Amino acid sequence: MKLPLIVPALTLVIPAFSQTFIQSGHVDIGIGYEDKAFDLHVHQEEPLEQEFAPGEAVFAIGSAAAGVSPGGAFTSFLGASGTPVWVLPSTENSQLPFLGFGTEELTASDWSGNITLSLKAVSGPGTFSIWGTSGFGAPELKISTVDGITAGDRLPLVPGSHGHFNVGFSAPGDYSVTLEASGTHLIDGFRTSDPATYRFQVIPEPSTWALALTGFAAGALWLRQRGQQRPQ
């Protein structure tokens, strides 16, 4: 007599996602100003133009960012020559987010001097740095947590402009980077934004969705194998 195969009901719980992972294309940390307040956000230009609050997007940085410190003038913040680093470069790489810093939404004539983007906090497995490069190839360090966070960790931006810098990490993993914008408006006076926290995932791990599907497939295979082993 063939025994009935009793298969327990499987409930696949699909996690709800409230974040968009940006793995490539042109994307900016944008700074706007409305109702006498700064607005820090993420402005994705490719493949579709859309805007996110800082916590709604994750800059997913793949293995194409992996490299080593060239040493020399870079040693102070990237380590000695050959030290592993992960860098979003200031030039476009189709396999990585092309991260810019944009103040195009600001009217230049409304402001006195630069807009300052200051580093307020970083959590993650390694150090975080932002730097430019001179015409002679020398680094122009703007922000680095190698020596902690100080008042000098700030990126000056011209109102109504857009620029790209190198963004580096000393170890793979998840980073939360909190930034604050400030500047002097000709009518409203000196203004400072609320802190905005951006997330970077260096060499992304498999997503929870992928793990859930993998677990479901493994469970289904186990049940099928168990069913085949039932006595006839």
What pLDDT is recorded for position 204?
58
What pLDDT is recorded for position 122?
98
pLDDT at 119 > cutoff 70:
yes
Q: Which run of H or E residues covers position 209? A: helix 208-228
What pLDDT is recorded for position 135?
86
pLDDT at 16 > cutoff 80:
no
pLDDT at 67 > cutoff 80:
yes
pLDDT at 100 > cutoff 50:
yes
**Alpha carbons 132 and 139: distance in angstroms, whole number:** 6
**In this predicted model, what pLDDT tens digit does every residue of 173-192 receive, in sequence order?**
999 999 999 999 999 999 99
pLDDT at 10 > cutoff 60:
no
Closest CA to 180 of 202, 197, 168: 197
The DSSP string of 64-103 is GGEEE---GGGHHHH-STT-EEEEE-SS--TTSEEEEEE-
What pLDDT is recorded for position 19?
83
pLDDT at 70 > cutoff 60:
yes
Average pLDDT over residues 55-81: 96
pLDDT at 193 > cutoff 80:
yes
**Alpha carbons 227 and 4: distance in angstroms, whole number:** 10
With the C-alpha atoms ordered 135, 140, 96, 57, is the resulting torsion angle positive or negative? negative
Average pLDDT along the chain: 85
With the C-alpha atoms ordered 124, 115, 61, 143, is the resulting torsion angle positive or negative? negative
What DSSP character marks residue 205?
P
**In this predicted model, what pLDDT tens digit does every residue of 200-223 receive, in sequence order?**
999 854 443 343 333 333 333 333
